[in-house]
Structure 1
Amino acid sequence: MTTDFRLPDLGEGLTEAEIVQWLVAPGDTVALNQTLAEVETAKAIVELPSPYDGVVATLHAEAGDTVAVGAPLIAFDIEGETGSAPDADETASAASDAAEPAAQANLVGYGAAPSGGARPARRARRAAGTAAPVIDTAVLEAAPHDALPTGPVETVQGERPRSTPPVRAHAKRLGVDLVLVAAEVGDRPITRADVDAYAERVAPDSPALRPVAVGPVAASAQGERETRIPIRGVRKHTAEAMVQSAFTAPHVTCFHTVDVTATMDLITSLREDRALSAHRIGPLVVIAKAVCLALGRTPGLNSRWDGEAGEIVQHHYVDLGIAAATERGLIVPNIRDAERMSLIALADALSALTETARSGRTSPAELAGGTFSITNIGVFGIDAGTPILPPGQSGILAVGAVRPQPWVHRGELAVRQVMTLSLSFDHRVVDGAEGARFLKDVADILQEPGRAMLMA
């Protein structure tokens, strides 16, 4: 019988998802939990596994289409099946009940998890009865540089190269075929570094391997005066969230410039300690620790406004959001229970969070929640700003660049390492005095890290 599979709720009550790409075609035989497609929600790109063993009959949407939760997505011919297909509520319920997307490879969270080994191979898209050629990477690499493929090879035997959407986009810009990279790296997922290494080794000076101009530059070359970019995915979600926050919570921003020379000296000392060489300890890690300590003394900053219940909800834990700029836009994944972590544990958690975000592997669960956030604008050379609160949070701290500046230190003028902190908070929840105390606590720790020993 033919059974429709409807788009389930992928988490956090999201109402729709965009089809990034299909990984199957009509006529393909698929196995349980084989990846059918990559879909982009308002928060993340996830792989959608099959809930059935069967043959693909129909794709109800094309790549680039936005599909509502509960709408038919793909139809299967399932041998021996009788009865009706599960409805959207049943499918979504199964997805929600079983989902632990941050901890499982099965990101959507329904169906049996794979027992191990490589993912099922996807049947090549080719004409019936025509065998796909096996690619000889040695022959291709021996060819002149301008003979190298400048785009993806359409006819591939077996499974597509394993990589994330940002890596595939990067490879496309460089004109690198991921099939050739996969032949070198083996079964593990291809990383951005793998693509760069391949491009540099094979043809470092080839025009075909240089980044391709996109956006306004490309449009200008074609005589166009403007470029229209669809508002969707992360950009759409970010815009909606920022408008909601800006016009719901009355924002107040206060600033404090602080001498962080002692903190920078501490970081230098920790980095020189061989026992800590495996941990990346930087200013943001120390700031994160200072924020956790300060939130314990000013709980209003770690609260949320619940207008429907007529309550202010104070959190007794800190899920610390770290704003990360990625190729897909700004996302804010969270470090869970950050207040319980040591400085070293925070450093490791921050490194893992950053690596996951840059590779495009951040899951919806890692983006959900958050009780307070930090945004590091200093990495762009910016000193201060007025950050907008993530919805549901009452405070966000913007961290400016560390600069050597003339500073009065112990009664004398000296060149010191100086940073500006910008705190935005919800004035419905946080009074000005409490916001000022929080900012002063963070600044005191950065000015004299030993003060952290005095804070409960």
Structure 2
Amino acid sequence: MAQVLEFKLPDLGEGLTEAEIVRWMVEVGDVVAVDQPVVEVETAKAMVEVPCPYEGVVTARFGAEGTELPVGAPLLTVAVGGPAEESRAVEAEDAEDAGDAGGGAGSDKGAGSAGSAGSAGGAGGAREVGASGGPGDRGEGSGNVLVGYGTAQAPARRRRVRPGQPVPGPGAPGRANGRERAAERADGPVPVISPLVRRLARENGLDLRDLNGSGPDGLIQRADVEYALRAAAAHARAATAATATATAATAAAAGSLAGPGPRTAPAAPAPRRPGTDIPSGVVRVPLKGVRGAVADKLSRSRREIPDATTWVDADATELMRARTAMNAAGGPKISLLALLARVCTAALARFPELNSTVDTEAREVVLLDRVHLGFAAQTDRGLMVPAVRDAHARDAESLTAEFARLTEAARTGTLTPAELTGSTFTLNNYGVFGVDGSTPILNHPEAAMLGVGRIAAKPWVHEGELAVRQVVQLSLTFDHRVCDGGTAGGFLRYVADCVEQPAVLLRTL
């Protein structure tokens, strides 16, 4: 006797209370294995694949893609027990029948293609839809397709069998022929760079299959969707203008025949969304997921923290030479960000007030004994601040490797919630955007953030003479509750001295 179990959205940690369904990885009738990922969700911290704790047949799913569910809400139901075993056996027999039918001599070209795909899998195809629960369960079609952020191997079409459903034979009605299977493969997932792009197209009624992606292998990016939406809006405006012109010309011609008469009414304004004063062609992007979490955090920081910013220009020529010498000596390459991080940790050891947070309820400044260094990373999903744990105990090589790992994880959307929380001080390298200075908002609840502008050749007085040097602007934004300008200025001056004369660091090594 089958037993139907309900699987609820689990607690994903770090105080997260809800998640948005990005992509279902199973359908009703699919056979799932224990710990097989069944849905991909987006939280305020990261993208997460949620595994199912049961083995059996999916009998129901709760929530469409794009729906937000609270923790503890039902995700799906699974029938476990006898029907699951029966369905798995039926799946295996049906896959074998499909392979025999596809490889027959009388099959047409389309059926032959489907049959070769089935025979290539052999018995592995039957296992794939059974208890293995491998990556092959996640999509349809053939070849490699980009889904969400990563590249997934898309297997042949899955067969779904419901408990008690009769199994059609090789020649029974309802079996998909070659053309139908090809059509099903054509209806597979469209390669997009992120779920945000898919959601943006869905909310504006845009079919992604009508677009030609500008990314690698036709990958559809956000710019492609926005361009298509602008083009559609321009086309609609042009059509409206043409209609208005034609109407005005007709009215003018009629007026010339009928003689003087009342003036024509002015053209109607552009259509607007119901209940708003925004034209219908305007794109609206909801503040949800990571972008919504960042917006909430920045708003809270601006409300609660009385921040101030101080800055200084520094000659980074010697720092750049030191880095060049390090990398020329062999071994792993050292990044400039790692050297600046090493300078920050040395400065925080001298000025610990800036590695702190404010407990507003207790009205206390809490000095922290470890430096978990956050760094700003711009991604397609918005601004993220991964944290390098125990940065004060790492050397330049270790910092370089960890920055590279976390940056790649941020770009691919694989950062864990733990890697996106807990930073105590942030290093913001906005110079990568080609700007000199900035006054950033603090990453709540941190007390300080060091900003680094671009390093550019500028005229500079060096050893009493005018010379062209590599100059960088450094800025420090700090919580004025934890320290005064003297402490902030002392920290920034020490950082600038280390940038101008890296040998200063030898005092603290």
TM, length-normalised to structure 2:
0.67
Separation in 2, partners of 1:78, 1:118: 15
Q: Is the 8 A contact 1:38 1:46 kept in 2?
A: yes
The verdict on how the C-alpha distance between 1:433 and 1:155 changes in structure 2, with shifts beyond 3 A counting, is: closer
Whose Rg is larger?
A: 2
Aligned position for 2:421: 368
CA positional deviation for 1:344: 1.1
C-alpha offsets along residues 421-453 of structure 1, whole Å, 9 cap, x if unaligned?
111111111221111111111111111000001
Residue in 1 that maps onto 2:438: 385
Q: Secondary structure at the match of 2:304?
A: coil
Matching residue within 298, 301, 312 for 1:242: 298
Match of 1:313 among 359, 366, 374: 366
Partner of 2:398: 345
Letter in 1 for 2:64: E
- Shift of residue 118, structure 1, vs aligned partner: 8.4
1:232 is matched with which residue? Answer: 288
1:405 maps to which of 445, 450, 458: 458
| Percentage of pairs with the same residue | 41
Equivalent in the alignment of 1:122: 137
Q: Which blocks of at least 5 consecutive residues in structure 1 are unaligned?
A: 82-116, 141-148, 177-194, 200-207
- Contact 1:32/1:52 (8 A) holds in 2: yes
The answer for the alignment partner of 2:311 in structure 1 is 255
1:21 CA drift (Å): 0.4
Cα-to-partner distance string for 1:40-59 (whole Å, 9 max, x where unaligned): 00110011011111211111
Q: What is the alpha-carbon distance in structure 2 between the residues aligned to residue 33 and residue 272 of structure 1?
A: 48
Is 1:330 the counterpart of 2:383? The answer is: yes
Matched to 1:260, the amino acid is A
Q: What do you get for the CA RMSD once the two structures are aligned?
A: 3.3
The equivalent position to 1:77 in structure 2, one of 76, 79, 84, is 79
Tell me if the contact between 1:31 and 1:120 (Cα under 8 Å) persists in the aligned partners. Answer: no
Answer 1 or 2: higher relative contact order, Cα 8 Å, separation at least 6: 1
Aligned to 1:105: none
Q: Is the 8 A contact 2:211 2:224 kept in 1?
A: no
* 1:291 CA displacement: 0.2
CA distance in 1 between partners of 2:209 and 2:392 (Å):
41
Distance 2:505 2:28 in 1: 62
8 Å contact 2:343–2:505 — kept in the other structure? yes
- Give the equivalent residue in structure 1 for 2:145: none
Do structure 1's residue 415 and structure 2's residue 468 form an aligned pair? yes
Segments of 5+ residues of structure 2 without an aligned counterpart are 84-131, 139-156, 162-167, 169-174, 199-207, 234-279
Q: Are residues 1:454 and 2:464 paired?
A: no
State whether residues 132 and 155 of structure 1, in contact with CA within 8 Å, keep that contact through their aligned partners in structure 2: no
**What is the CA-CA distance between 1:309 and the residue it aligns to?**
3.1
1:7 maps to what in 2?
A: 9
**Maintained 8 Å contact 2:353/2:367:** yes
- The yes-or-no answer on 1:217 pairing with 2:219 is no
Match of 1:204 in 2: none
CA distance in 2: counterparts of 1:33 and 1:126, whole angstroms: 20
Q: For residues 137-187 of structure 1, what are the alpha-carbon distances to aligned partners after superposition, in whole Å with 9 as ceiling and x for unaligned?
A: xxx9xxxxxxxx9x984469xxx99x9957997x999968xxxxxxxxxxx
Would the aligned equivalents of 2:25 and 2:37 in 1 still touch at CA under 8 Å? yes
- Partner SS for 2:496: helix
Provide the C-alpha distance between the structure 2 equivalents of 1:34 and 1:343, rounded to a whole number of angstroms.
Answer: 39
Match of 1:272 in 2: 328
Higher percent of residues as helix: 2
Q: Distance in 2 between matches of 1:335 and 1:132?
A: 54
2:201 matched residue in structure 1: none
- 1:292 — aligned with what? 345
**Could you tell me which amino acid in structure 2 is paired with residue 32 of structure 1?**
V
Instruction: Indicate how the Cα distance of structure 1 residues 386 and 15 shifts in structure 2: closer, same or farther if over 3 A, else same.
Output: same
1:393 corresponds to which letter in structure 2?
Answer: E
| C-alpha spacing 1:74/1:133, structure 2 compared with 1 (3 Å) | farther
Relative to structure 1, the CA distance from residue 382 to residue 120 in structure 2 (aligned partners, 3 Å threshold; closer, same or farther) is closer
1: distance between equivalents of 2:185 and 2:49? 20
* Structure 1 residues 75 and 270: alpha-carbon distance in aligned structure 2, compared to 1, 3 A threshold: same
Q: How many residues align?
A: 374
